Structure 1
Amino acid sequence: MLIRPMRPDDFDAVWPVLRDIARAGETYALDPGLDRAAGWALWGEAPRATFVAERDGAILGSYYIKPNAAGPGDHVCNAGYIVAPAARGQGVAAALCAHSLAEAARMGFAAMQFNMVVASNQVAVRLWRRHGFLIVGTLPGAYRHATLGLVDCHVMYRTLHDQAG
């Protein structure tokens, strides 16, 4: 698997994954009616960097890195990850997470924070914990899950000092 910076033409493969995740309403706080232009702005324009994972020319997943806040908070980054359905369970998200931690440290960020990890998404919670993230807060009923109703969200955080190269 190769993880590399996303090119504009890669969004043709990234968009259906992002669109379907938004529509599902189970893991991301995104408008279920997210259109392609807004998806590109979110995934391709707003981040400081966006990467894709590919194997044999097929896009398996993607992630972005951006400052979590402005000014005095811009030393903490935020990242978002998506994995194509056919690539799930193959270690793609773990590889993307490891890559993003190293890349964020290389970019000079001191920490990474996830603002809304949907608590019912136990696969993600376990993965982020394996990568050193701590649950630093829980927001009761902060997510309107499409099938479960109101569910909690975790704020997860880790420093990047051990990632500096």
Structure 2
Amino acid sequence: MKLQLNTIKTNLKNYQDYLNQLNNILMPEDNLPFFNKFETRTKNKFIEQINVDLGYLIPGQNLFSELINTIRGLVEIEQAEIDRSLEKTIAIFGVSLGVGGIAASTFSGYVERPLINSNQSPLTIFTHPGIFAFLLSVTITLVMGLSTAKYLRCRRNKLPKN
């Protein structure tokens, strides 16, 4: 709308300049009032109408800008929460897998006998040191993961809310 207003004002100024040049050339008996009527009508009708329309549209434009800024803020808050959740998940997996890996490498040094002897029953396979070390490292991994998750949740709840 402002662009249209500027265009009309520029064209009206050019029209006034050419109208002045035409009036300088005209003879006294030549009377062309319709040229002046066009200028007056343009000033009164079009420019005033655009100014009124701008008066109605600019507050709405400001409201849309505020709405867009509000939505942008909400999206940034949501993204921060997602990033925080991802960071927490990575911390839980990192701690639990690290401790589980240390436990597995610690217990693997004690495995010296073969997995199955021909005279063993299949149920005694769980008592084999290798299987036992694996199950123990998985258990330690799960316990450390749950402990880390509980610690992070407890720490988050103790932080003051802004």
User: Normalization by structure 2: what TM-score?
Assistant: 0.18
Question: Which has the larger share of helix?
Answer: 2
Question: Which has the larger share of strand?
Answer: 1
User: Normalization by structure 1: what TM-score?
Assistant: 0.18
Larger Rg: 2
